[in-house]
Amino acid sequence: MNEIVQDLERIRSQFLSDLDALQTSKELEDLRIAYLGKKGMLTSVLKGMGKLSKEERPAVGKLANEVRELLNDRLDEVKQRLLDQELEKQLQSEVIDVTIPGIRPPRGAAHPIEQTIDLICRVFVGMGYTIAEGPEVELVANNFDRLNIPASHPSRDEGDTFYITDQVCLRTQTSPVQIRVLEKQEPPIRIVCPGKVYRPDTPDATHSPIFHQIEGLVVDRGVSMSDLVGTLKLFARELFGENTEIRLRPHHFPFTEPSCEVDVTCWKCGGKGCSTCKGEGFVEVLGAGMVHPKVLSGTGIDPEEFSGFAFGIGVERTAMARFNIDDIRNLYENNMRFLMQFK
Ligand code: PHE
């Protein structure tokens, strides 16, 4: 028998037993290359066909084609079977039960201080005010001098102000924003500015070295004290309820004249007198007054033509009142069990 025929028979039977041993589609690819690749066993045998005589060629050629077709057919068939098996395996190992309930991420909430700032700002935005901002690291000139606070004023002591240099401090109030706004904007001016302020106080139930204020400033022609009173009344009622009254007590701030401290009806006892208001029936929440002519002229605004009022609201006080919190330190301790009450 012809040598090539023998080779072809041998290749066929070896291929069939190799095929039986296959486990993976990767092995199958290797097998295809070993037989049918450029340097594969069958390929090399077929290359020898050229040496055959004319008589031998048709029969041997036919056999060669049969073997090649067999190899191709069987490889395709087994390949499909292996791929199906592999897919099935993968699907089983990666099975996902989409009906299992998910893990609900805990939902956060705005901090009570943030909620209070938001609420107060909304009340004033509703009255046509816009929100202004200023830096917490402020020039001593803006925090004191230009607000008509004399060099001798006790609030300027190192015990009452955090100084960074002689000329720079952490603002002790939001009032320097008045200066920044007056300098940049032409009247009519109507702004509120919420922000942090700093004072070297030892923390206790009512003091914290960092706290928040909301500054308010209105400057226009013909602004009077009665505009201030009307504005603050509306603010107090929006925040503490319809029956809230305000009480103005004469006070002194160097940057307003006249000046007052403003109390609101005690939210705890409704005015009868209790431990929260120390029997007063009222609780202080802000300072206010008519903008001092020197503050206006110092920023290039003619006090003969324009007048205005300003106020500074204590945010923590307001928050503690609204949410019935008795110790300011609760607001800064990041105790989730405490904070989650104000969702
Ligand atoms: N800045 C004052 C304070 O911190 C409050 C205030 C603001 C008073 C505006 C009058 C006008 O006490």
Residues 249 and 305 in one domain: yes
Q: Is 231 in the pocket of ligand 1 (CB under 6 A)?
A: no
Q: Which residue has a Cα nearest atom 10 of ligand 1?
A: 288
**What is the distance between the alpha carbons of residues 102 and 211, in angstroms, rounded to a whole number?**
40
Do 209 and 86 belong to one domain?
A: no
**How open is the CA angle 292-293-299, to the nearest 5 degrees?**
100
**How far is residue 253 CA from its own chain's centroid?**
38
From 138, 146, 181, 253, the mutation candidate for ligand 1 (largest count of ligand atoms within 8 A of CB) is: 253
Residue 145 placed within a domain? yes
Tell me the chain's radius of gyration from C-alpha atoms: 43
Digit-by-digit pLDDT tens for the chain (343 residues) are 578 888 889 999 999 999 988 889 899 999 999 999 998 888 888 888 888 888 888 888 888 889 999 999 999 999 999 999 999 999 999 988 889 998 999 888 899 999 999 999 999 999 999 999 999 999 999 999 999 999 999 999 999 999 999 999 999 999 999 999 999 999 999 999 999 999 999 999 889 999 999 999 999 999 999 999 999 999 999 998 999 999 999 999 999 999 999 999 988 888 899 887 889 999 999 999 999 999 999 999 999 999 999 999 999 999 998 888 989 999 999 998 999 898 8
Question: Distances from the Cα of 288 to the Cαs of 149, 216, 258, in angstroms?
Answer: 15, 9, 9
Ligand 1 atom 9, closest CA: 311
User: Domain check: are 88 and 120 in the same one?
Assistant: no
Residue 262 β-bridge partners: 248, 286
Same domain membership, residue 328 and residue 213:
yes
Residue nearest to atom 4 of ligand 1 (CA): 173
Same domain for 282 and 327: yes
The finding on whether 287 has its CB within 6 A of some atom of ligand 1 is yes
Tell me, yes or no, whether 225 and 83 share the same domain: no
CB distance 194 to ligand 1 below 6 Å:
no
Please tell me whether residues 8 and 117 are part of one structural domain. Answer: no
CA distances for 336 relative to 84, 219, 227, angstroms = 53, 42, 41
173 lines ligand 1 (CB under 6 A): yes
Identify whether 119 is part of a domain.
Answer: yes
The residue out of 58, 93, 128 marking a domain boundary is 93
What range does the domain containing 69 cover? 2-93
Q: Report yes or no on 99 lying in a domain.
A: no
CA of 188 to the centre of ligand 1 (A): 21
Q: Which residue has the tokens 């069990």?
A: 337
Same domain, 183 and 84: no
Count of positions (residues) in the chain: 343
What does the block give as tokens for 211?
């706290």
Q: What pLDDT does residue 208 have?
A: 96
Cβ atoms of residues 320 and 328 within 8 Å: yes
Domain CATH for 240: 3.30.930.10
Position 267 in a domain? yes
**210 lies in the same domain as 256:** yes
Q: Structural domain tally of the chain?
A: 2
Taking the centre of ligand 1 as the mean of its atom positions, its distance from the CA of residue 315, in whole angstroms, is 13
3-state secondary structure the chain: CCHHHHHHHHHHHHHHHHHHCCCCHHHHHHHHHHHHCCCCHHHHHHHHHHHCCCCCHHHHHHHHHHHHHHHHHHHHHHHHHHHHHHHHHHHHHCCCCCCCCCCCCCCCCCCHHHHHHHHHHHHHHHCCCEECCCCCEEEHHHHCHHHCCCCCCHHHCCCCCCECCCCEEECCCCCHHHHHHHHHCCCCEEEEEEEEEECCCCCCCCCCCEEEEEEEEEEECCCCHHHHHHHHHHHHHHHHCCCCCEEEEEEEECCEEEEEEEEEECCCCCCCCCCCCCCCCEEEEEEEEEECHHHHHHCCCCCCCCEEEEEEEEHHHHHHHHHCCCCHHHHHCCCHHHHHHHC
Of the residues 64, 93, 122, the one at which a domain ends = 93
The answer to whether residues 59 and 144 belong to one domain is no
* Torsion angles phi and psi, residue 162, rounded to 5: -85, 110
82, 198: one domain: no
Residue 104 lies in a domain: no
101 in any annotated domain: no
Do 193 and 134 form a contact (C-beta atoms < 8 A)? yes
Residue 42: C-alpha distances to residues 64, 77, 126, 207, 243 (Å): 9, 19, 89, 93, 102
103 located within any domain: no
- pLDDT at position 139 is 98
State the pLDDT at residue 219.
98
Asked if the structure places residue 294 within a domain, the reply is yes
Give the pair of three-digit tokens for residue 1.
């028998």
CA of 241 from ligand 1 middle (Å) equals 24
Asked which of 93, 127, 156 is the last residue of a domain, the reply is 93
Q: Measured in angstroms, how far is the CA atom of residue 117 from the centroid of ligand 1? A: 17
Same domain? For 160 and 245 the reply is: yes
Q: Does residue 258 have a cis peptide bond before it, meaning omega lies within 30 degrees of 0?
A: yes
